[in-house]
Amino acid sequence: MAFRLKLVPTVTHIDFFRWWRWTFGFSAILTLICIGSIVYQGFNLGIDFRGGTAIRAESTNEIDLAHYRDTLEALPFSDATITEVFDPTFAPDQHVVQIRLSSGGEDPALSPDQLNEVEAALKTVDPAVHFTQAESVSGKVSGELVWKAVLSLIGATIGIMIYIWLRFEWQFGLGAAISLAHDAFVVVGVWSIFQLKFDLTTVAAVLTIIGYSVNDTVVVFDRVRENLMKYKQMPLVDLLNLTLNETLARTVMTSVTVLLALLALFAFGGDVIRGFVTAMLVGVLIGVYSTVYVASVVVLRLGVTRDWSKEKKAEVGPYANIGN
């Protein structure tokens, strides 16, 4: 007899909308907090958006961040930041720091001579230190990247909303659009609240999250449409609950599979992709939540036009009094 792993029972009767006012209110408050942080606190912009030079330095000696920082502050450069990088894949004598510097002016990127000056200064503190990577972005290019990043997020959301609007009814399109906006604001809001480095990798992660979230939403909406034709007299709240219970096993298995892959990347993928993976971890969890408690709630409150012309005995479910 074959063993089959089941994370959820085959048949469930969970009332997802019992506390919909509380869950939807929580989503609204969380989104407003994230927007407020974005407006008033802003982002810890990476070199991609701010311009300057990001340097990856390694040493076989223990790194004294205080001495490194004092040395960098003595140089004629601005916005000097230094953070130590930890990774389980590093060798015992491999110590890595990430340094960000700006030369100021219209072109904040450091020239090769300036990079040599920085490396020579750090060697006075630690003779074993050497630069393994340096990435420079000019101020003009960084401004263009900010604008293109914003356009890509807006364009992806609008395109997905139009697709769902054409595939389903307008209520589904609006529910999906609100859900996607919720996911995007929450993810970038987390980056703003905790002042994590926000760069093009984060933008790529947000776009990937939008695609993942809409995929989960479309699966649920497809089943909703099938059930709308099958149960034409069933109250909408009962029909949505039935649909979410029918797709619960698929949603859980898909999400757990993705999370396992992301956790492996987070643990062993190295610091280069850790920002992307962290955003994906947050986004996958938020995407599943928003499909149930944002997109579906919007459809519930807007209602869906159905053919009521044929007289049939109403199929009253256990959630008939919910949502009124």
- Among 19-23, 187-191, 320-324, the range scoring the smallest mean pLDDT is 320-324
8 A C-beta contact, residue 275 and residue 202: yes
- DSSP string for residues in 43-90: -EE-HHHH-EEEEEEEESSPP-HHHHHHHHHTSS-EEEEEEEE--TTS
Using DSSP, how many helices (H) and how many strands (E) does the chain show? 11, 6
**Does pLDDT of 2 surpass 60?**
no
Average pLDDT, integer, range 294-299: 93
Average pLDDT, integer, range 104-109: 70
**37-77 pLDDT, tens digit each:** 999 998 887 777 777 888 899 999 998 888 888 888 888 87
**170-206 pLDDT, tens digit each:** 888 888 889 988 998 999 999 999 988 888 788 888 8
Average pLDDT, integer, range 250-256: 89
Q: What confidence category does residue 317 fall into, taking pLDDT thresholds of 50, 70 and 90?
A: low
**Does pLDDT of 261 surpass 70?**
yes
Q: Which residues, 6+ apart, have CB-to-CB distance to 161 below 8 Å?
A: 173, 174, 176, 177, 180
Average pLDDT, integer, range 164-169: 79
**302-312 pLDDT, tens digit each:** 988 765 444 44
Q: What is the pLDDT of residue 229?
A: 87
**284-294 pLDDT, tens digit each:** 999 999 999 99
Mean pLDDT rounded to a whole number for the chain: 83
- Reported residue count of the chain is 324
**Does pLDDT of 315 surpass 70?**
no
C-alpha 84: how far from chain center? 24
Q: What is the pLDDT of residue 314?
A: 46
Q: What is the pLDDT of residue 311?
A: 41
- Among 27-36, 132-141, 162-171, the range scoring the smallest mean pLDDT is 132-141
**70-103 pLDDT, tens digit each:** 888 888 876 677 888 888 888 888 999 988 887 7
What is the value of pTM for the model shown?
0.74
**Does pLDDT of 240 surpass 90?**
yes
Q: What is the pLDDT of residue 7?
A: 66
**Does pLDDT of 271 surpass 80?**
no
Q: What is the pLDDT of residue 238?
A: 93
- Best CA proximity match to 100, nearest among 46, 42, 61: 46
**Does pLDDT of 138 surpass 80?**
no
Q: What is the pLDDT of residue 313?
A: 45
**Does pLDDT of 160 surpass 60?**
yes
**Which residue pairs, CB below 8 angstroms and at least 24 apart, start in 301-307?**
302/171, 302/174, 302/175, 303/171, 303/236, 304/169, 304/171, 304/172, 304/228, 304/236, 305/169, 306/228, 306/232, 307/232
Could you give the domains of the chain?
Answer: 20-44+142-302 (1.20.1640.10), 52-137 (3.30.70.2040)
Distances (CA, A) of 198 to 48, 50, 107, 203: 9, 10, 20, 8
Average pLDDT, integer, range 118-125: 90
